[in-house]
Structure 1
Amino acid sequence: MTGESEVTALAQRWRIAVADIGFVPMSMRELDRLLARLVERIIAAATTEPFDPADAAEVGAALVRANLTDPRVLTRSAVALTPLTEIVAPHGDRMVAVFGELSRGYTETLLSARAHDQEMLHTAMAEARHAAEVRFRVMFDNAAVAIGIGDTAGRVVDVNPALSAMLGLPGRRLRGRPVAELVHPDDRDHMRERVYGELLASGSGTIRLELRYLLPDGGSGWAAWAITLVPASGGRAAYLLVVGEDTTQRRALQAELHRQARHDPLTGLPNRRQLVDALSRIIAEARTGDRVGLGFIDLDGFKTINDTYGHGVGDRLLTAVAERLAAHARGAMLARIGGDEFVVLFAPPCDSVRMAHIVETMLNALSDPIGVDDHLLRVTACIGAVVTPVANADAERLLDAADAGLYRAKAAGPNRWVLHGVDVTAGAFPGST
């Protein structure tokens, strides 16, 4: 059971990490109580059996509802909640999935709220067609979102200050320019198809699309655009009303979340999810006769090092071990799948000679002591390796085969390796070779 004081302390740590990057319409004490409830909900999501991390999505949604909508909230939350991995032990390995669901709930709720705001803006803009020009001009010039007006020939008629700031050019340099010149070359055909082949052809309506825009320095950004065709009226020609929201930071955040979901946060190595995905791709692309190599690596006596020197030293040792092993993987993928366990994956072509050579090299890489803080630590490993046909195989069965080889190596004593040939496609697990 997690103590109340432990939850309270973690909630305060969380509040300190995020409270200064947004306006939260509640007192510090109220925010502490809210975050304490969310910490308890995260712990429940990680420890409840059967395991289902989906409930953590509501935690992310609650952060948005508390007005914590700065893109840095998720990154700071991840750092502040790091102690949860040990608090929920032995379920610490579930925290990646739990935080992934939290991030999903946060992102979906934030996008929904912004979409609602944008819809409200479009409603206001439609009403502005019938309002006085001066009232429209006030909204146009002072809106926080990017707004532009274009003619049906594809040229910029006017831009507001927010759009001018987004594109990095003053309004006088934007008016009269072809819209296509402001769009990334790779997105221009898509823009023309949607605007001219769809919106203008229909004669009315609104389309939504996400395109890259160009910056004066040669760079680019992303923005979500809502483009409305305003029909001709009272002698005024039809025009396009464009409302944009810069999504560059959101896309960067999503890319970072994707990277975090596929990498071990301690060593930076691929995690089990990325390993299985890579193995599945190899299987899907394999031809008859292609063979894959897999090696399960488990450090000898790592628990003793943790117990003797503490988890901080243990973590830094794991990072150093990962660097040594990766330096000798020679074109293979090295992944950390949890604790002191690593897996090395060799794509085809692979044979027993190559696998044995690399396995020996990786074991030898650990022969020299590793300096961690003021300690000079020696660590050895056992490796269970397999070389097997890969066409039509199953990724999890291949990993199971290598894992079985690891247990045989561990049984033989420390600093050993076992290489055995299997044919997972035939369902056989023969002995070592």
Structure 2
Amino acid sequence: MSTPVLWDISKLRQLQELVGRLNAGGTVDETLQGVVDGVVEVAGFEVAVINHLQSDGMWQCIAVAGSDAARTQLLGVRQPRAVFDAEFAASERWGSLRFVPHERMPAGLSPGWVPDLNLSDDPDAWHPQDALFAPLYSPGGDLIGVLSVDLPHDRRRPGQFQREILQMYAAHAGIAIYRAQLMDQLIENEQGFRLAFENAGIGMAVLSLSANETGRYLRANTAFCHLVGYTEKELKAMTAGDLTHPDDLDTDLVNLHKAVTTGQRVFELEKRFQHAGGGSVWVAVTTSVIEDANGHPVSAISQVQDIGQRRALLETLARDALHDSLTGLANRRALYNCLHDMTFDPDAVAQAFVLFCDLDGFKAINDRCGHGFGDLVLISAAQRLSDRVGPAGMVARLGGDEFVVVAYAADVEALADRLTTTLVDLFVNGEFVGLTMSIGIASVREHTEPAQAIHSADLAMYEVKKAGGNDYRIAPSPLSETLEQS
């Protein structure tokens, strides 16, 4: 009486071992073949076939075990889903199994492979055209395959225990196939990501957001390594903070902190990386945070684009917008910006003077020697003025031979006196072109608007011109002029 029980336990142990092998991490094809091989090994059938549901909705025979003839005839065959739907509709339900007796096989359906089997009058005998199916489901309940079995070892329709074995096996097989599909998809995705990552035309890097190594580089592609001058191996020993320019580090650290502590998941910024060979590289960085299954940030992927040329162009445009193209001095816009900014600094207003300078005799030199030579004179004059005023003041060119100096001099008259003789010994291309200047001076403090001081200084300069030039004159205070007129 005990022998059948021992046999049952033996089958269950075999089933357990087989399920372990199916979940060992093989590919989908390896797992499918393992499933049909296991049926022949454990479930008491000589032939097993799996039809796998394809992405286009068709069923395809992927794996066959137990019969070379069945393998030759069935492997690779594709069928529409309606074929199995019709067979299932005609089937008897044996738990999760579907049994289609030969007499209930839908008319017009091809029986597929039919074993060479002698017919028997026994009502429980297995008929060559009997069909037994075990649907295979994912953990979520989606139908992913159908396991078909044939030729029971005893040539009889399976009893309750054999059905239970097949049902249990099919349940585990569906899970194993689903896991293998996920693994194949993960591998495919990883390979696709790796190819896209490595061959991207812009720099890409993966950074850790783990508590003990936030900002450490985990991966870097070729373009990123080329951009910063480090190898991937060197970068893996560094953090984003190690690579970031010190002046940009605070912004970088703030973003990393936000990634870890807030819900923000995408960051964009422009910053500088320190190049391995020295100097820095301007880059535009877009960083996306990667979460784990619980929504916690675990890493981040950054796309890094070299914007050095764009930054240089913008800086050039910004400089050109505020500088005279001939002399490199500040232009009219920069001068007025400077005076406007003074309105927010009473101390600067109290100490500031505007000196409107015009070169005496420049027109004659320009007419005699030409505009090209005249430009050289203006360039040399601009350099002399800048040197004489020094970094504490500002020299701007309004146009032609008119210059404006903004100075914070305690003795502005002494400065004006020095400026009038700044160009008296000027040589240009070996030719003596000594020049003097006429200068008008106005106090910024004495004007309601700082820019009005330029007008007052301009009028004072013209008074010097009328008197013969080579001198300076302080413009009268607008307040005193008002009193005199009244």
TM-score by length of 1: 0.60
Alignment of 1:214-225 (within 5 A): 214-217=274-277, 219-225=279-285
1:288 to partner: Cα distance: 9.9
1:118-147 CA deviation, whole Å, 9 max, x = no partner? xxxxxxxxxx99963322222111111001
Say which of 453, 456, 464 aligns to 1:401.
456
In angstroms, what is the RMSD of aligned CA positions?
Answer: 3.3
Name the amino acid aligned to 1:341: E
Q: Structure 1 CA distance, aligned partners of 2:330 and 2:297?
A: 56
Q: Is residue 2:409 matched to residue 1:367?
A: no
The alignment partner of 1:384 has SS state of strand
8 Å CA contact retained: 2:275, 2:281: yes
Name the amino acid aligned to 1:389: R
Match of 2:468 in 1: 413
Q: Is residue 2:402 matched to residue 1:346?
A: no
Name the amino acid aligned to 1:167: V
| Structure-2 change in CA distance of 1:174 and 1:387 (3 Å) | closer
Match of 2:191 in 1: 134
Alignment of 1:421-432 (within 5 A): 421-423=476-478, 426=479, 428=481
8 Å CA contact retained: 1:292, 1:346: yes
1:149-190 CA deviation, whole Å, 9 max, x = no partner? 123212322110011112211111222543332233444443
Name the amino acid aligned to 2:345: E
Q: Structure 2 CA distance, aligned partners of 1:189 and 1:378?
A: 53
Match of 1:6 in 2: none
Say which of 442, 445, 448 aligns to 1:389.
445
Q: Is residue 2:393 matched to residue 1:332?
A: yes
Q: Structure 1 CA distance, aligned partners of 2:475 and 2:356?
A: 12
Q: Is residue 2:211 matched to residue 1:156?
A: no
Match of 1:322 in 2: 382
Say which of 307, 329, 345 aligns to 1:285.
345
Range moving further from structure 2, 162-171 or 264-273 = 264-273
Range moving further from structure 2, 153-162 or 270-279 = 270-279
Name the amino acid aligned to 1:144: G
1:241 to partner: Cα distance: 1.5
Q: Structure 2 CA distance, aligned partners of 1:297 and 1:343?
A: 6
Range moving further from structure 2, 144-153 or 289-298 = 289-298
Match of 1:166 in 2: 227
Which runs of 5 or more residues in structure 2 are unaligned? 1-184
Range moving further from structure 2, 199-208 or 314-323 = 199-208
| Structure-2 change in CA distance of 1:263 and 1:200 (3 Å) | same
8 Å CA contact retained: 2:202, 2:303: yes
> Computing the radius of gyration over CA atoms, which structure comes out larger, 1 or 2?
2
Alignment of 1:26-45 (within 5 A): none
Q: Structure 2 CA distance, aligned partners of 1:254 and 1:416?
A: 41
Comparing both structures, which one devotes a greater share of its residues to helix? 1
1:429 to partner: Cα distance: 6.7
Alignment of 1:218-367 (within 5 A): 219-232=279-292, 238-287=298-347, 290-329=350-389, 331-347=392-408, 350=410, 354-367=411-424
| Structure-2 change in CA distance of 1:129 and 1:229 (3 Å) | farther
8 Å CA contact retained: 2:322, 2:331: yes
Alignment of 1:76-115 (within 5 A): none
| Equivalent residue pairs, number | 295
Range moving further from structure 2, 292-301 or 153-162 = 292-301
Identical residues among aligned pairs (%): 30
Name the amino acid aligned to 1:313: F
8 Å CA contact retained: 1:203, 1:231: no
Match of 1:21 in 2: none
Structure of greater relative contact order (alpha carbons < 8 Å, 6+ residues apart):
1
Q: Is residue 2:433 matched to residue 1:377?
A: yes
Name the amino acid aligned to 1:132: N
8 Å CA contact retained: 2:419, 2:437: no
Match of 2:257 in 1: 196
Which runs of 5 or more residues in structure 1 are unaligned? 1-127
Match of 2:240 in 1: 179
1:259 to partner: Cα distance: 2.3
Name the amino acid aligned to 2:314: Q
1:261 to partner: Cα distance: 2.1
The alignment partner of 2:328 has SS state of coil
Q: Structure 1 CA distance, aligned partners of 2:331 and 2:264?
A: 49
Q: Structure 2 CA distance, aligned partners of 1:318 and 1:356?
A: 24
Q: Structure 2 CA distance, aligned partners of 1:298 and 1:397?
A: 18
| Structure-2 change in CA distance of 1:357 and 1:217 (3 Å) | same
| Structure-2 change in CA distance of 1:315 and 1:130 (3 Å) | farther
The alignment partner of 2:329 has SS state of coil
Name the amino acid aligned to 1:415: N
| Structure-2 change in CA distance of 1:327 and 1:230 (3 Å) | closer
1:345-400 CA deviation, whole Å, 9 max, x = no partner? 212x53xxx222222222223333x333364334333212223525x841221111
| Structure-2 change in CA distance of 1:254 and 1:361 (3 Å) | same
